[in-house]
Amino acid sequence: MASSSTRNLYFDNAKLILIFLVVFGHVISPLKENDDFLFTLYAVIFLFHMPAFILISGYFAKGYRKNGYLLKSVKKILLPYLIFQAIYSFFYFINGDEHSLSFDFLEPHWTLWFLLSLFFWNLLLYVFAKLKWLGLIVAIFIGIGIGYIDHIGSFLSLSRTFVFFPYFLLGFLIEPKHIQWIKNIKYSNVLGMLILISTFLLFEFSFPKNAVPWLLGSSSYDDMGNVEIMDGIYRGFQYLLTFVVIVGFLALVPSSGTKITVIGQRTLYVYLLHGFIIKIIETFVSDDTLESFSQNYLLLFIFSIVVCLTLGSYLIKKYTRPLIELRL
């Protein structure tokens, strides 16, 4: 991992795996309630897949002080958010989820929270980057404290912005040597696998089904139940566990490229487009039919791979690039 190109292959592989987990997590989401294995798998995935994605986004935000960076963020992040927020408004009206056509750009639809929060995270760097590692501590305390504000939620994605910002800031602060250190740990692959398996077993036996909102970061403590002083400690423990699992994940990511590594460069396409496939299936396929697939884990796995390979293909990029990247 010494060269820049090798490091890019490493992160492309990481993003490829993470975007698959995003798709797979959304595929199994409506099936998880009646299947304990799928529920545990879903919980483990949602514990770390978006935090890891956010950490990598922060890692590549080191040039935030360059001229034109903020304008570039508006073009690459904020404008696609506005475009797809409008498209989702049309989509939900057409498929019957909404009885009237309305446009609300302050309440992100479904997966679009990530784009809005990503824009805010880049803005927050102008303040927190100056504090360096002290800023990370402050960000963690803010992420813990924000949960005590009643009814903070999806409006402007404020809850997720502050809850997940420590991962973005950590990604910004770490350097290539830190990634190299993880990869150079003796038996790093074994350690990474042990961390993931241990987390799965921990969740299998101790993670309650009503605790899923804690993983999503979109609600206040009050909205997730009665507010208790211990809630902040629980979120602090969640931060710690997530950091450990991310390290385990990064230890497992291969450094060499494959034929599909390039999809790691097109994760935005998969992220923005896969939701329509999931929602169309949920609209036209009955719950009983969907339920019949819940035990077919291999089929769910293969379907998620096919979605990633299709939406991450060159053809999809070619014809949707004007919409997603605003480039011909």
Output the average pLDDT for the chain: 91
Distance separating alpha carbons of residues 116 and 112, to the nearest angstrom = 7
Predicted pLDDT at 328: 60
Average pLDDT of span 133-138: 96
Instruction: Quote the pLDDT of residue 182.
Output: 92
Does 3 score more than 60 pLDDT?
A: no
136 versus 185: which is more confidently predicted? 136
SS3 of the chain: helix, strand, coil, percent, to 5: 75, 0, 25
Mean pLDDT of the 273-299 span:
86
Domain residue ranges of the chain, discontinuous segments joined by +: 4-324
| C-beta of residue 74 within 8 angstroms of C-beta of residue 123 | no
Closest by Cα among 171, 116, 110 to 139: 171
Q: Dump pLDDT digits (tens) for 141-197.
A: 999 999 999 888 788 899 999 999 999 999 999 999 999 999 888 888 999 999 999
- Give the pair of three-digit tokens for residue 200: 């799965």
Mean pLDDT of 127-143: 96
Q: What pLDDT is recorded for position 5?
A: 53
Q: For 78-98, what is the mean pLDDT?
A: 89
pLDDT in tens, 100-126: 788 888 889 989 999 999 999 999 999
pLDDT digits (tens, 9 = 90+) for 7-66: 589 999 999 999 999 999 999 998 998 889 999 999 999 999 999 999 999 999 998 888
Asked whether the CA dihedral 327, 58, 271, 94 is positive or negative, the reply is negative
Mean pLDDT of 225-239: 89
**249 pLDDT higher than 90:** yes
What is each CA distance from 142 to 16, 107, 261, 275, in whole angstroms? 30, 22, 36, 30
Buried/exposed code over 79-104 (b: 16+ C-beta within 10 A; e: otherwise):
bbbebbbeebbebbeeeeeeeeeeee
The answer on pLDDT for 235 being more than 80 is yes
**Statement: residue 4 has pLDDT above 70:** no
Which pLDDT tens digit goes with each residue over 59-83? 999 988 888 899 999 999 999 999 9
Least confident segment among 2-6, 73-77, 158-162, 262-266 = 2-6
Mean pLDDT along residues 131-136? 95
Length of the chain: 328
